[in-house]
Structure 1
């Protein structure tokens, strides 16, 4: 049994190479190239070795210590990512995002929104970085690099509806080849200039920062690109678990990256003219074309991982109540994480192609890349401090010793990337800010809408009493009313009475609650409350990574003596129009318009909950906000 378990960990560790480490693994394509640009276009031995020392120790401290050792402990039932981390925070003491824990939640939301900004840049910079290797072989390909990159990106996004369940099985072995190749490239270059190994001394990087002042500070922005897959590592942890992800990093990914970065530094030290594309200069001329092909495949895998991550993040945000319902397709019967979100896919495709054409090269895109990720990493550290205190019950000395070190590093990288705002860093920040506004508007709108519905809900006891006294006629049949709040007799029932003048003989008010935990145990899924006279209130709970299935939930309710037949029942939901309140509106005008637009275009109830369309009806009503 132990041997089988060990084999499973190894297999998962191989899969992690493709699912988790695509972004980190393809960073060598453009990191040193960006460092050269940040250094003013020329690079000396001192800059090359100082930058290498910073890269080496940034990978060890930030990725190994911060993410693999510390942050990955902050999981929500095995699920990672900044939204999962946010769900572990201490709940706010009062509504709103502008105080105490509310500010931390706002920070988490903004960090999540910025991941989408990372998602539109990663495919662009990775594919361009791979194809630019053609320019090393011959300048004849230079005019075609951008069109080829755009074509690859279009095919990548257009293929998303097909799913990657079968193709994904090949991602791990392909990335294993990639890491083996870049490790071998680096080892050969180091053998020619073994002096670069002195960069393993962390004091070399610190002296470089201290002696070169502002110039070395700007180089930090390029160094940071070696870390840009750290958040993806944490977010994708739920697919495979901590052990395989850590095993892959320690045994394959980190050694390969260290060897390759050291090899690039060795090439630059030997011949500074190679600095403009030090990655592809590590191989002889005949090896450039095969390496470009392998690099392109690796970047497609890295892009696929970030796109899938955006889909998963969207589902989490939806079910935690921060985004409107969107159409989601499950593309695999075997793998839960294989989903497709059309709106997110096509929006990301348009944005990615726009910035690919707009920036035109990986060097120019590098200025836009680091700002979003460095901001998210800083916010992750801030949220982690709250989890350490309120979840793990750490004392302040332990928290300050760990978080203090991480904050110094995160703030340094964050500040260095702020220098690139005008060079394109504003693009992912504006994209993330727009999504942040959408998220908080949706959450506030739903909360205010529920408050409005609660204030106008009928007196449940009075309705039951009227049924008991025969004042409300009953008709044959079963009805399920989907309510937007935990109300036993919702406004929707009153609306049905107004329209039809009667109620079916068996009535269920059904409320779906999405919890801040990844999964809800089956034994706690359904709660039934008998109201009498053929009325039941059923509350169904799902975790933020679970697929809601209301028909199965009603079957469980039936086993709890709720005598409703889901195969015969008619499902009723509200078709709401959001209108301004005549006096003292509940929402600011533009915010209300944005919420109304989101609400009107959100996925319809039968699509989100897989309800039978031939037995589903919507009742119109207006809600004043």
Structure 2
């Protein structure tokens, strides 16, 4: 295990190593879509019309061109260039836009939050669908275990969520080798079966794909909803940009894309040559003696894909917390060497319960497919809209260029969204319910914190006048007091209460404000602003990027190296803890009041969140009517 971590630490800057590693993280989801995408598209066609030669070639053609247009052009060539200090993802894109056009912040925040919430809704479906699809292969080698498939899938997923608290750094170095073996396996199997019917190569002709879109009448939309499974996990390319960098992810796609294309061609040729393979074309590509190994590799690959989804959810949730969209939560960092290795207990539990419900409630991958698609296609549409604004603001693209390059992408994605919405009443609404829950939680938190800030601002006392009135009249005690506050211009409530009840001041008093910047990381020279207010009062503003640990103790230690004089063991940190009391006419409905108060009460303790020394923290509670 130590050797594994040492290898990761040693090679984490090597672009070829990063490319290799990204195969096991970024492309886990899209790399396992061959398990179910073509199978489900064929079943959809089979239920609605005859599946002939043209239809099989047309489906494969659709898959190839969707991978080309959406993944290659939109994500690999365009969106990966829209980084925020090296970070990607819909919230990073939102932070970029908020820096340039704050006057439209409300519209942008609504779009970003909807996109993030839809992503969360998708994260419940992906592990359940992937693992079930892999485990269902057991019925082909051990039919007597068919009734235990759900239990086996549940066991794998329970184990996966249980190990999150311990971190996966010890086994992370095996992810990419396993995925490379998986890619070799699906490539070789595809190459072998293409020769079953060389006519499948006609799928490279986009006219076959166009025929499936416009030539099949009402069936076309149903087919598009199934074919959309081909690009599951495409959003991960952008979300994981900060972990690996643009070039490694782009280079890795040059390996993934041919592997997926060849396998889909092989599945198509197999079905053309043997129509009975329509039942499960992926597993029927493998000879009986090799099938157990194929099932084992599929299971390993889907577990790795699920792990990537969980890690990505932790990372995006942390961004949302630091940007002020969610209440502070406990975050444990599980690795000192691997970037992005963290554990959020509340999110892990939420995802675990959601995945269990999906597996138990839907029972098989075919049923789960109906729940998949709306959230992902919705997220894609929103990211394209936000990218069009980004290209105008940052790249200075002319409107004509946006129309030429981005509008076609948007129209294609909106078509997929419309196709997936047809499944809304066929349990497609379930991920949307999860997304709606997250939207309500984030909207309530943002609205509540803004209301709380407005209420307290009315009673705030300006710092300068307060210091002049108390500095000479108050008795002073040795040491330093640091008062945390959200408003650097107003007297912290903890300071007011300390003067009111204890009638003393420390020799040195620091009013400390912690701010989150709209960029992922900040250099040390941009970390703080110090201002001397009077002989015994200073004002310090600390700044953190939204991807950084808000380690106040470490930041203050850096300040000491820059001339700020205080002894940490002779310093007291004063926190003003508010106890919220609901009242009528607060500005929010009663249910939202109660939800905000509950979130506020259960938010992580600021002393833990900001890494303050527990034995030096003094909390002063005040009641606030809201």
TM-score, normalised relative to structure 1: 0.95
Most deviating of 603-612 and 554-563: 554-563
Pair 1:120 & 2:121 matched:
no
Conservation of the 8 A alpha-carbon contact between 1:136 and 1:277: no
Indicate which of 435, 439, 444 corresponds to 1:432. Answer: 435
1:325 corresponds in structure 2 to 328
Distance 1:363 1:43 in 2: 18
Mapping of residues 609-624 of structure 1, within 5 Å = 609-624=610-625
Conservation of the 8 A alpha-carbon contact between 2:384 and 2:410: yes
Structure 1 unaligned blocks of 5 or more = none
Conservation of the 8 A alpha-carbon contact between 2:461 and 2:490: no
Please state how far the C-alpha of 1:608 moved relative to its aligned partner.
0.7
CA RMSD of aligned residues (A): 1.8
1:131 corresponds in structure 2 to 135
* Cα distance change on mapping 1:572 and 1:154 into 2, 3 Å: same
Mapping of residues 60-79 of structure 1, within 5 Å = 60-79=68-87
Most deviating of 558-567 and 476-485: 558-567
Distance 2:295 2:312 in 1: 25
Conservation of the 8 A alpha-carbon contact between 2:26 and 2:236: yes
Indicate which of 166, 173, 189 corresponds to 1:185. Answer: 189
SS in 2 for 1:318: helix
Distance 1:132 1:93 in 2: 49
SS in 2 for 1:197: helix
Most deviating of 211-220 and 4-13: 4-13
Please state how far the C-alpha of 1:38 moved relative to its aligned partner.
1.8
Distance 2:557 2:98 in 1: 35
Distance 1:454 1:558 in 2: 31
Residue-by-residue CA offset, 1:182-212 (whole Å, 9 max, x unaligned): 0001110102211100000011110222221
Residue-by-residue CA offset, 1:382-416 (whole Å, 9 max, x unaligned): 11111111122111001111111101110111011
Conservation of the 8 A alpha-carbon contact between 1:45 and 1:269: yes
1:54 corresponds in structure 2 to 62
Residue-by-residue CA offset, 1:243-274 (whole Å, 9 max, x unaligned): 00000101x10000001111111111112221
Please state how far the C-alpha of 1:91 moved relative to its aligned partner.
5.6
Please state how far the C-alpha of 1:560 moved relative to its aligned partner.
4.6
Pair 1:392 & 2:410 matched:
no
SS in 2 for 1:212: coil
2:609 corresponds in structure 1 to 608
Please state how far the C-alpha of 1:279 moved relative to its aligned partner.
0.4
1:110 corresponds in structure 2 to 114
1:568 corresponds in structure 2 to 570
Aligned length: 615
SS in 1 for 2:406: helix
* Cα distance change on mapping 1:224 and 1:64 into 2, 3 Å: same
Pair 1:475 & 2:481 matched:
no
1:536 corresponds in structure 2 to 538
Pair 1:209 & 2:210 matched:
no
Please state how far the C-alpha of 1:28 moved relative to its aligned partner.
0.6
1:597 corresponds in structure 2 to 598
2:498 corresponds in structure 1 to 496
Conservation of the 8 A alpha-carbon contact between 1:480 and 1:510: yes
Conservation of the 8 A alpha-carbon contact between 2:477 and 2:506: yes
Pair 1:19 & 2:25 matched:
yes
SS in 2 for 1:53: helix
1:525 corresponds in structure 2 to 527
Conservation of the 8 A alpha-carbon contact between 2:11 and 2:17: no
1:340 corresponds in structure 2 to 343
Distance 1:104 1:511 in 2: 26
1:461 corresponds in structure 2 to 464
Conservation of the 8 A alpha-carbon contact between 1:185 and 1:263: yes
Pair 1:257 & 2:260 matched:
yes
Residue-by-residue CA offset, 1:70-121 (whole Å, 9 max, x unaligned): 11111111111111111111469788xxxx5422321111111111111111
1:375 corresponds in structure 2 to 378
Conservation of the 8 A alpha-carbon contact between 1:190 and 1:266: yes
Most deviating of 234-243 and 555-564: 555-564
Most deviating of 194-203 and 560-569: 560-569
SS in 1 for 2:510: strand
Distance 2:347 2:273 in 1: 46
Q: Moved runs in structure 1, 4+ residues, more than 4 A?
A: 4-7, 90-95
2:509 corresponds in structure 1 to 507
Conservation of the 8 A alpha-carbon contact between 1:24 and 1:230: yes
Distance 2:91 2:147 in 1: 42
Please state how far the C-alpha of 1:295 moved relative to its aligned partner.
0.4
Please state how far the C-alpha of 1:5 moved relative to its aligned partner.
10
Most deviating of 486-495 and 433-442: 486-495
Please state how far the C-alpha of 1:479 moved relative to its aligned partner.
0.9
Pair 1:242 & 2:246 matched:
yes
Distance 2:321 2:105 in 1: 21
SS in 1 for 2:569: coil
Please state how far the C-alpha of 1:138 moved relative to its aligned partner.
4.2
Residue-by-residue CA offset, 1:135-169 (whole Å, 9 max, x unaligned): 22342221111110000000000010111112111
Most deviating of 176-185 and 7-16: 7-16
Please state how far the C-alpha of 1:581 moved relative to its aligned partner.
4.8
Distance 2:474 2:133 in 1: 71
2:366 corresponds in structure 1 to 363
1:271 corresponds in structure 2 to 274
SS in 2 for 1:172: helix
Pair 1:219 & 2:220 matched:
no
Pair 1:577 & 2:579 matched:
yes
Most deviating of 133-142 and 391-400: 133-142
Residue-by-residue CA offset, 1:469-521 (whole Å, 9 max, x unaligned): x3222122211111122335322211111121212111111111011101111
Distance 1:143 1:464 in 2: 74
Please state how far the C-alpha of 1:297 moved relative to its aligned partner.
0.3
Indicate which of 174, 177, 189 corresponds to 2:178. Answer: 174
Please state how far the C-alpha of 1:285 moved relative to its aligned partner.
1.4
2:6 corresponds in structure 1 to none
1:84 corresponds in structure 2 to 92
1:38 corresponds in structure 2 to 44
Residue-by-residue CA offset, 1:225-257 (whole Å, 9 max, x unaligned): 01111101110111000000000101x100000
Pair 1:151 & 2:155 matched:
yes
Please state how far the C-alpha of 1:561 moved relative to its aligned partner.
4.3
Distance 1:377 1:496 in 2: 51
